[in-house]
Structure 1
């Protein structure tokens, strides 16, 4: 998947959101258990990498602003719920009914999180931060993703 090389943090996060949404669409249409497992591995890696980078870069920067602090706390709780689901799903076979139920819950949860983040948090951030700050955070976000990527790949279902 194409990754942006430059950009402000909000644009980079939106790109990640779009990539995960495409993976969700593919996995919902897929019938092959093997292909579902491959797609889940990609979803696991993308969501884990994205969440860790947000938690390392984006969320700490947002805590400095009163307008976003409460929103960030809720977003972190949503990240934690998604992480738990991902870990539970990692232990199940893709043809297991519980896997399918958890997948639907994961998709709904992530879509809700994305909507809140893009509508509420991004709006508050744009009102609080200058373009230069958003660009600098974008660079930090990409560096954080690159730094944690080897650990995420090692922990992914495909690495088993």
Structure 2
């Protein structure tokens, strides 16, 4: 009897799906208040921290192997660091604090810039990394995500 295998998805499609998920969470957060706002922020926090860690472990090492994509890694890592700092600043605030919404807007802008830059990177990636390797990276991305999710949720609780 043949084993059924989950559909193989390339890493770029997975990253793009994560970006759409976060954009949706931001749209919901903009309408939320009180406990719902905290819940939306918590989901954004988990998604963005996971995104950064997985890319640093799986995606960026692959980009470093090609001259055409290596140049993008440092800028992307700096953008992730900026997002991480803003996330921690928001985490320290109560949703009733006027700075909470301001910082959420700042976070959204930083993320929009990052997503815009990544679309340029993706074009370069598709030029030099094979579909097979992108799919293998997608598999590794999903496996790493499954391993890290509980650690990131624990960090949020701190």
TM-score range, shorter chain: over 0.9
When the two structures are superposed, what TM-score results if normalisation uses the length of structure 1?
A: 0.92
Counterparts of 1:1-160 in structure 2, within 5 Å, are 6-30=8-32, 32-118=33-119, 120-156=120-156, 159=157
Secondary structure at 1:45 match in 2: helix
CA–CA distance in structure 1, aligned partners of residues 82 and 147 of structure 2: 23
Secondary structure at 1:95 match in 2: coil
Offset, 1:58: 0.3
Secondary structure at 1:6 match in 2: coil
Deviations 1:71-116 (A, max 9, x none): 1110100000000110111110011111111110100000110111
Q: Alignment length, in residue pairs?
A: 153
Compare CA radii of gyration and give the structure with the larger one.
Answer: 2
Q: Can you give the 5+ residue segments of structure 1 that lack an aligned partner in the other structure? A: none
CA–CA distance in structure 1, aligned partners of residues 7 and 78 of structure 2: 29
Secondary structure at 1:94 match in 2: coil
CA–CA distance in structure 2, aligned partners of residues 5 and 86 of structure 1: 33
When the two structures are superposed, what TM-score results if normalisation uses the length of structure 2?
A: 0.93
Offset, 1:6: 3.2
Moved runs in structure 1, 4+ residues, more than 4 A?
none
CA–CA distance in structure 1, aligned partners of residues 144 and 136 of structure 2: 12
Across the aligned residues of Structure 1 and Structure 2, the Cα RMSD in angstroms comes to 1.2
Q: Can you give the 5+ residue segments of structure 2 that lack an aligned partner in the other structure? A: 1-5
CA–CA distance in structure 1, aligned partners of residues 31 and 72 of structure 2: 33
CA–CA distance in structure 2, aligned partners of residues 9 and 108 of structure 1: 24
